[in-house]
């Protein structure tokens, strides 16, 4: 009697499958690492931006408090402007109109002596964004 040999997958195909699996895991791990580093950098940039913005807001509130505490009642309204830098390309622009509080019925502490007419972030440089679409006619 002759023994029949069964044809099955050879040892080489198992090795190729193992190598493909290891290379896939390495590539996914590398992509995950690159994505994590990009997210980390973006988070740090946003944290720095938020810190600079709130520092400018704090200076703006201190400016308004200083103007309000030094305000003397008068007959006319006066407009005061202040620009507080946030970054090299941005600033917080504040405009206040001092109001005349001539009502004797209103106590001095409860009277609003100013109105904030502008509290705005202003960009100085044109960043040169390209809004065109490369579409063929």
131 belongs to a structural domain: no
**6 domain-assigned:** no
136 in a structural domain: no
Asked if 94 and 60 touch (Cβ cutoff 8 Å), the reply is yes
Q: Edge to edge, what strands does the sheet with 90-98 contain?
A: 78-85, 90-98, 114-123
pLDDT tens across 24-38, in order? 999 999 999 999 999
Is residue 1, in this structure, part of any structural domain at all? Answer: no
Per residue in 55-92, pLDDT (tens digit) is 999 999 999 988 887 766 555 678 899 999 998 889 99
Q: How confident is the model at residue 106 (pLDDT cuts 50, 70, 90)?
A: very low
The tally of domains found in the chain comes to: 1
Would residue 5 count as lying in a domain? no
Q: 116: domain range?
A: 13-123
Q: Which neighbouring-strand residues pair with 121? A: 92
């Amino acid at each position: 009697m002759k023994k029949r040999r069964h044809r099955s997958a050879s040892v080489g195909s198992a090795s190729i499958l193992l190598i493909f699996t290891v290379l896939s895991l390495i590539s996914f791990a590398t992509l995950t690492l690159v994505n994590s580093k990009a997210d980390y950098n973006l988070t740090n940039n946003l944290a720095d931006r938020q810190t600079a913005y709130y520092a400018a807001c704090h200076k703006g509130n201190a400016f308004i408090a200083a103007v309000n505490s030094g305000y003397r009642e008068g007959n006319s309204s006066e407009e005061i402007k202040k620009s507080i830098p946030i970054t090299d390309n941005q600033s917080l622009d504040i405009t206040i109109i001092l109001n005349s509080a001539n009502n004797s019925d209103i106590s001095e502490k409860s009277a609003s002596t100013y109105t904030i007419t502008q509290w705005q972030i202003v960009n100085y440089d044109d960043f040169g964004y390209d809004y065109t679409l490369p579409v063929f006619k």
